[in-house]
């Protein structure tokens, strides 16, 4: 599946156009990503938010080309710095991985090889793309460990992943991902495995490093709180699709999709028990094999009755409501805004 006729290189550094990643399985086709489009510029941060199972990880691995050559059916376009990657060869995309684009994973303990030292793993990452001696690469690894705030990097370089604390391991992962100065960095739930104070440190670190490297950053999370300060733009994902997209201000101060309201209401808060959410979303995310017809969110939506039956029959379009703010919902914009202003916002503020 190469470039669709008429499409041309975009101005943005990264642009996804109608990306679809489907997995044929014995139970049916899993439509993990089903028509996702967005743009991202250098120096900017995009937050992708959604409950687990909404297709966030598949999207990020898809951008890195890690589903290529497998059983996944991939269509659409991924443009990175003027190059289209869905149609590019497996080998070519591999040469971009690590150097042009890199990734930080959720669980740093399982994501690092238990039998190799942290240093060896960073050195390996560096030497894939730089033909330098081991000594030079080792100096670079120590330097990177120092930059991500690991004390005594010249000693810790020879430690094994299990000898690090969770936060230090995630720092080491970041050092590894950044070792080749990637222009696009994708962090998939980078702080989910960490406790709250360490979470904040890691997020600060990523923001600092992004400024320093001027890279494009995608932060993926199921927790809106994580991307609140970090993101320029936020994309809310549900059932393999974008249901709301806008600037961080749009999403936090003028959200229009009932699912986003639910995410805002279920944000963990520091002054509460993690289990004590304001307004959890009832029900569970849909199976991506049998996505509900019409609006995928309709079985869980409190406002499903307000769309004149369209919620179960017709797939809502992702439509602009105002200044680049996109919403996928049948309710008229005025009604959505009224519900936000009069019902949801007062409820969130009162607690």
Cβ–Cβ under 8 Å, residues 19 and 4: no
By CB under 8 A, residue 94 contacts another protein: yes
Smallest gap from residue 224 Cβ to another protein (A): 25
Distances (CA, A) of 145 to 153, 233, 283: 6, 29, 43
- Cα–Cα distance, 73 to 31 (Å, whole number): 9
Q: Residue 64: CB partners within 8 Å, gap ≥ 6?
A: 93, 97, 101, 103, 186
Distance CA 12, CA 121 (A): 32
Is residue 288 within the footprint of ligand ADP (CB under 6 A)? yes
Between 260 and 321, whose beta carbon lies closer to ligand ADP? Answer: 260
Examine residue 162 and tell whether it contacts another protein (CB under 8 A). yes
Please say which residue, 56 or 127, places its beta carbon nearer to ligand ADP. 56
Per-residue binding string, another protein, 52-71, x by CB under 8 A, is: ---------x--x-x-----
225: how many CB neighbours lie within 10 A of its CB?
17
> Which pairs with CB-CB distance under 8 Å and at least 24 residues apart come from 125-132?
125/98, 125/176, 125/177, 125/179, 125/180, 126/179, 126/180, 128/98, 128/99, 128/180, 129/98, 129/99, 129/180, 130/180
Task: Give the three-class secondary structure for 63.
Answer: helix
Establish if 52 lies at the interface with ligand ADP (CB under 6 A). Answer: yes
Residue from 32, 45, 57, 170 in contact with Mg ion (CB under 5 A):
57
User: Contacts with ligand ADP: how many residues (CB under 6 A)?
Assistant: 13
Q: Which does 103 bind (CB under 5 to 8 A by kind): ligand ADP, another protein, Mg ion, none?
A: another protein
Contacting residue, 12, 45, 57, 179, with ligand ADP by CB under 6 A = 57
Give the count of residues interacting with ligand SF4 (CB under 6 A).
Answer: 14
Instruction: Tell how strand 325-328 and strand 241-247 pair up.
Output: antiparallel
Contacting ligand ADP (CB under 6 A), which of 14, 16, 19, 30?
A: 30
- Site membership for ligand SF4, residue 316 (CB under 6 A): yes
Beta bridge partners of 75: 20
Select from 13, 38, 79, 105 the one that contacts another protein (CB under 8 A). Answer: 105
Query: What is the dihedral sign for C-alpha 154, 155, 161, 165?
Result: negative
Alpha-carbon gap, residue 344 to 111, rounded angstroms: 39
Q: How far apart are CA 253 and CA 268, in angstroms?
A: 18
Shortest Å distance, C-beta 119 to ligand SF4: 49
249-308: contacts with ligand SF4 (CB under 6 A): 258, 295, 297-298, 301, 303-304, 306-307
Residues engaged in binding ligand ADP (CB under 6 A)? 23, 25, 30, 32, 50, 52-58, 288
Please report, as ranges, the residues that interact with ligand SF4 according to CB under 6 A.
258, 295, 297-298, 301, 303-304, 306-307, 311, 316, 329-331
Residues that bind another protein (CB under 8 A): 61, 64, 66, 94-99, 102-103, 105, 107, 110-115, 117, 124-125, 128-129, 160, 162, 176
């Amino acid at each position: 599946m190469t470039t669709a006729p008429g499409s041309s290189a975009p101005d943005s550094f990264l642009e996804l156009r109608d990306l679809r990643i489907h997995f044929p399985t014995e139970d049916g086709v899993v439509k993990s990503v089903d028509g996702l489009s967005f743009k991202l510029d250098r120096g900017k941060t995009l937050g992708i938010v959604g409950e687990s199972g909404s297709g966030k990880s598949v999207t990020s691995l898809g951008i890195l080309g890690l589903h290529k050559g497998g059983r996944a059916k991939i269509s659409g376009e991924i443009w990175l710095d003027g190059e289209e990657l869905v149609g590019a060869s497996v080998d070519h995309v591999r040469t971009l991985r690590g150097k042009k684009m890199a990734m930080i994973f959720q669980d740093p303990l399982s994501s690092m090889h238990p039998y190799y030292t942290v240093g060896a793993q960073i050195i390996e990452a560096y030497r894939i793309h730089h033909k330098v001696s081991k000594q030079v690469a080792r100096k670079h690894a120590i330097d990177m460990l120092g930059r991500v705030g690991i004390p005594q990097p010249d000693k810790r370089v020879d430690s094994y992943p299990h000898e690090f604390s969770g936060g230090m391991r995630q720092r080491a992962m970041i050092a590894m991902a950044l070792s080749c100065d990637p222009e696009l960095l994708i962090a998939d739930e980078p702080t989910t495995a960490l406790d709250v104070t360490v979470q904040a440190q890691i997020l600060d670190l990523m923001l600092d490093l992004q400024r320093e490297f001027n890279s494009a950053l995608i932060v993926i999370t199921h927790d809106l709180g994580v991307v609140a300060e970090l993101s320029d733009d936020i994309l809310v994902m549900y059932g393999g699709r974008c249901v709301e997209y806008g600037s961080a201000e749009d999403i936090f101060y003028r959200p229009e999709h009932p699912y986003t309201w639910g995410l805002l209401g279920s944000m963990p808060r520091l002054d509460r028990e993690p289990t004590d959410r304001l307004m959890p979303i009832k029900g569970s995310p849909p199976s991506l094999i049998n996505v509900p017809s019409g609006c995928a969110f309709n079985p869980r939506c409190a406002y499903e009755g307000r769309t004149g039956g369209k919620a179960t029959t017709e797939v809502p379009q992702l439509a602009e409501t105002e200044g680049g703010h996109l919403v996928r919902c049948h309710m008229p914009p005025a009604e959505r805004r009224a519900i936000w202003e009069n019902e949801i916002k007062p409820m969130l503020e009162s607690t």
